[in-house]
Structure 1
Amino acid sequence: MKRLLSFLLCFGILLFWSSCRNDFEFTPSKGQLEFAKDTIYLDTVFTNIGSSTYNLKVYNRSDDDIVIPTIQFENGVNSRYRMNIDGTTGLEGTQEGKFFEDVELLAKDSLFIFIETTIDISTLGGLENQFLYTDKILFDSGNNQQDVDVVTLVKDAVFIYPSKDDITGIVETLSFDVDGDGTPDETTLEGRFLADEELTFTNEKPYVIYGYAGVGAGKTLTMEAGARVHFHADSGIIVTDNGSLNINGALSTDQETLENEVILEGDRLEPLYEDIPGQWGTIWLYNGSENNTINYATIKNATIGVLSEGNQNATTDKLTITNSQIYNVSSFGILGRATSIRAENLVINNAGQSSFAGTYGGKYNFTHCTIANYWNSSFRQFPALLLNDFIVDENNTVFTNGLVEANFNNCIIYGNDNPEFLLENEGEVFNYKFTNCLLRFDNNNLDGQGNYDFENLTFYENNLFNQDPDFEDPFSNKMRIGADSAADGIGLSIFASQVPNDILNVSRTVAPDAGAYQSVVFDED
């Protein structure tokens, strides 16, 4: 009973206070607002693609409750920006998101303004491929007016996307010979095949791809030096029967901008997305595609960097990849299935599963490559390097296919897990060899057993184990090795003569190091 009386008494006091209290009395703003920043940079966006949402915090440091008579864009209803203030969108109609009246702000309080944009570069005038679009957010008017600048760089691009039925909303899907019977098959893969006039990607404008851009039978997609290719979520490139992909990048003088490399990444340009894995699908070299080459390319933030299937017995390698980097993939850097791949001066790092997986047999020859995995975003099931000769179907039936050869010469295979290579075979043909490599494998339960008999010169020759590669900063994908690297000088000259310069064009003909880079002395800072 006492508790009830106490509760009623407290409730009565609160009720009396609230019923007697006058509403807040707001005085007009006098230009004394403070802002968390004086300029809002919305980073770079592609034309007609919406930006991320950015925010501005506005403070009332005074002891008075104030009302801001107007908040609006300087360009008014013609502004390409839109804003939301603490969950409201302002006046209705054409001024929605552009104009706000009588915005109240309590003493010693703050409010949030959220800003977005979607800009059609063709409406901005000029012939440039990019345009710096600016506006201002105006607070109040006259002598009390304050402002904050808003800035966005808008880039023009070549957009490649499948058609969409305006009534049903159904998106075009790819049809091609999936099962090898000579008849095209319908797939659920959204996308379309590139027209002949679209089969050369230049460096004049970036390319933005929605869905899968298909390379048809007998066609070749060429990417010239300096091309920039951006993929929307669940998008990629697929090269079908008798088609080819040739990425023809070149050595860059600036290792920050990589001006001559071909860069393939997601279509979100904001710094927040710079190193986010899994933003797009894959480069899919489908069974039957042939003579695919990748030179001086950076492939980043995909689900699988390159998926290569089939053609292991072709007279030429299905994929030749040189002087290239694959980073920040949510699954595999390169996933091979019964295929043939030749790699030189290749660097792979930060994969949610394996950096390189040669599965269901195949042919693989890697020389002066750095296959590392310093993934730290989640638990990964597999090591940096995985080789096997089998697949298991939904009925748990095991199918095998011979690993004809898998040679790793003057390579570094390392990471932040242990061991960093796994060799699993179910069939009789399982040929592999590691020569003059730096390897991470420290497992007493497996060392010397089965595929891990490191004294057997048929499979292992002149390798170093579990010694520091001295990477510059592997968690930031800086994979150069320092002068203290265990890989320094351990390479075999006969392999170095096949790849005489490293990925930065530094000669390795004298005292070659293992991996894609010759060692350097890092700057102390």
Structure 2
Amino acid sequence: MKYIQTVLILAIIVIISSCRKDFSTVASSGKLEFSKDTVFLDTIFTNIGSATYNLKVYNRSNNPISIPEIRLENGITSNYRLNVDGIPGKIFQDIEILANDSIFVFVETTVDVSSLPDPLYTDKILFDSGDNQQDVDLVTLVQDATFIFPERDPITLEIDKLTLNGQSTTLQGRYLEDSELTFTNEKPYVIYGYAAVPPNKTLTIEAGARIHFHNNSGLIVDELGTLKVNGTLNEKVTFEGDRLEPFFDKVPGQWGTIWMRAGSKDNELNHTIIKNGIIGVLVDSLGTAGVPTLKIENSEVYNQSSFGILGREAEIVGNNVVVGDAGQVSFAGTVGGSYNFTHSTFANYWNNSLRSLPAVLINNFFVFENSQGQEVTDTRDLSAANFTNCIINGGNNVEFVLDKVDGGVFNYFIENCLIQFDDFNNSFANNAELNFNDTSHYLNNIINGNPDFIGRFDEDFRIGDQSDAINKAKATSLSIDLLGINRTTSPDIGAYQHIIIE
């Protein structure tokens, strides 16, 4: 019976297929249409592959067509790579497109700038030949760079891992050589793995330098090491990922962190932009003899997937600082320490995922599991958490939290700040550290005022002329704002003086 059923099914298939007309095409007549006449592959670094770009090819006729040939003008020597309707290559024959249908052509490239007479690298995709030939231009700007990457064991081929303070780590990377301890603005720097500043050495980064990190990469300042970033108002220093295409301009988590390890000293960031990492700056340990572990001035930290700035029992001084969106906290001063910020703006409007923590979080403890598997809370002294003339704002109802555990010093003073704190469900009603009427810790603050940011979802945290921060700052020695505008008289709260948009 099963045999008879099988024969019947096969017979039906044969009958149906015999009724189907043969599929036939006509030759392309040079009337293809394209989604664009030029494919611009945005700027790439030498020897680093581009993102994938696409071109759509349309057959507007009522007949299926066959394109005799699609190829790159420079042939197999071209640095461009194509994928035509799912097939990779550089030369393609007899590509069919159904009537009133289309196909995709995907384009990528990797270019060695040293092989080019001009950093603008071009080619063409040629469709058909002779009188029917049509073309689409390909254009890429290739940028030279200084590359820093870890060594590879010649026998095992394993990439070297860092040993920090005598302890092995799983971090791929290496210490910088003495000849690499000055970064200039002549060419961008592209770092693979973690580049580490050795003990008793200083990495100096000159004004206008651009530092790009590959995935899972970053910068480490080891014990007794120092980082000096010397940007200026007109020549800022930038730290970001190594993908230059516009799509990646606001993608967080592209690289790791700038990690100032316990015992590093005299670190300074001035006129610096740090964006699109996991933790913008990670600072460990108290400084020595009143010298902060980090002094950060006139600087901006944006779009970090975890923390903007994370201090762990650290000593940080910040003036004219903007810390924007972060997946967890814009600024966290944890495990005690000393934190002093003046004329700074902390604004977290992160919208890539749910964020439950505030823009600014201060605590004096850490939790760990002991050898018996028990959870233990250990406290450290918070010698200072002082915020003067700061905006603390964001998309959550509560954007400022002091989280104290008894057992250590907990010193803080918040003065002339504009703070988002709408505790509508009284979650913090029993938190004595958040009593804004306590004048021994709070003075002249504006709670739940309007900062009137120019573009809060674009991380433009300049303030407009409707801001409640206008003329409400306390006079300090910081006579100019982040943009170099004078604030000697009638200073505004935050990193910026207000602007008037007409």
Tell me which interval the TM-score lies in, with the shorter structure as reference length.
over 0.9
Partner residue in 2 for 1:25: 24
Q: Once the two structures are superposed, what CA deviation does each residue of 1:437-468 show, in whole Å capped at 9, x if it has no partner?
A: 00111215235741111111111000010011
- Structure 1 residue 384, shift from structure 2 partner: 0.3
CA contact (8 A) 2:207 2:232 kept: yes
3-state secondary structure, aligned to 2:17: helix
Q: Once the two structures are superposed, what CA deviation does each residue of 1:169-221 show, in whole Å capped at 9, x if it has no partner?
A: 311111121xxxxxx22211110011111111111100000000000011111
Q: Which amino acid is the alignment partner of residue 332 of structure 1?
A: F
Match 1:145 to one of 110, 115, 133: 133
Q: Once the two structures are superposed, what CA deviation does each residue of 1:143-174 show, in whole Å capped at 9, x if it has no partner?
A: 00000000101001000000123553311111
Q: Which amino acid is the alignment partner of residue 116 of structure 1?
A: E
- Structure 1 residue 23, shift from structure 2 partner: 2.5
Partner residue in 1 for 2:112: 120
Question: Separation in 2 of the partners of 1:297 and 1:12?
Answer: 75
Partner residue in 2 for 1:107: 99
3-state secondary structure, aligned to 2:329: coil
Match 1:500 to one of 457, 479, 483: 479
Q: Which amino acid is the alignment partner of residue 99 of structure 2?
A: A
CA pair 117-166 structure 1, distance change in 2 beyond 3 A: farther
CA contact (8 A) 1:213 1:236 kept: yes
CA contact (8 A) 1:468 1:486 kept: yes
Q: Once the two structures are superposed, what CA deviation does each residue of 1:209-259 show, in whole Å capped at 9, x if it has no partner?
A: 00000000111111111111000011000000111001111112xxxxxxx
Q: Once the two structures are superposed, what CA deviation does each residue of 1:2-23 show, in whole Å capped at 9, x if it has no partner?
A: xxx9xx9999777534223343
CA contact (8 A) 1:312 1:363 kept: no
Question: Separation in 2 of the partners of 1:156 and 1:324?
Answer: 26
| Alignment RMSD | 1.8
Partner residue in 2 for 1:70: 69
CA contact (8 A) 2:185 2:209 kept: yes
3-state secondary structure, aligned to 1:247: strand
Percent of residue pairs bearing the same amino acid type: 54
Partner residue in 1 for 2:417: 437
Partner residue in 2 for 1:93: none
The runs of 5 or more residues in structure 1 that have no matched partner are: 90-96, 178-183, 253-259
Q: Which amino acid is the alignment partner of residue 222 of structure 2?
A: T
3-state secondary structure, aligned to 2:495: coil
CA contact (8 A) 2:239 2:275 kept: yes
3-state secondary structure, aligned to 2:179: helix
Q: Once the two structures are superposed, what CA deviation does each residue of 1:251-307 show, in whole Å capped at 9, x if it has no partner?
A: 12xxxxxxx110100001111110011100000000010000000010000100000
Matched, 1:516 2:495: yes
Structure-2-length-normalised TM-score? 0.95
Question: Separation in 2 of the partners of 1:11 and 1:297?
Answer: 73
Match 1:388 to one of 363, 377, 395: 363
Question: Separation in 2 of the partners of 1:293 and 1:121?
Answer: 34
State how 1:71-86 maps to structure 2 within 5 Å: 71-86=70-85
Partner residue in 2 for 1:403: 382
CA contact (8 A) 1:43 1:270 kept: yes
CA contact (8 A) 1:29 1:67 kept: yes
Matched, 1:220 2:220: no
3-state secondary structure, aligned to 1:122: helix
Question: Which of structure 1's runs of 4+ aligned residues deviate more than 3 A?
Answer: 8-15
Partner residue in 2 for 1:181: none
Per mean C-alpha deviation after superposition, the further-off stretch among 279-288 and 18-27 is 18-27
3-state secondary structure, aligned to 2:341: strand
Match 2:152 to one of 164, 178, 194: 164
CA contact (8 A) 1:472 1:522 kept: no
CA contact (8 A) 2:146 2:188 kept: yes
CA contact (8 A) 2:401 2:434 kept: no
Count of residue correspondences: 492
CA contact (8 A) 1:447 1:454 kept: no
Q: Which amino acid is the alignment partner of residue 80 of structure 1?
A: N
Structure-1-length-normalised TM-score? 0.91
CA contact (8 A) 2:62 2:100 kept: yes
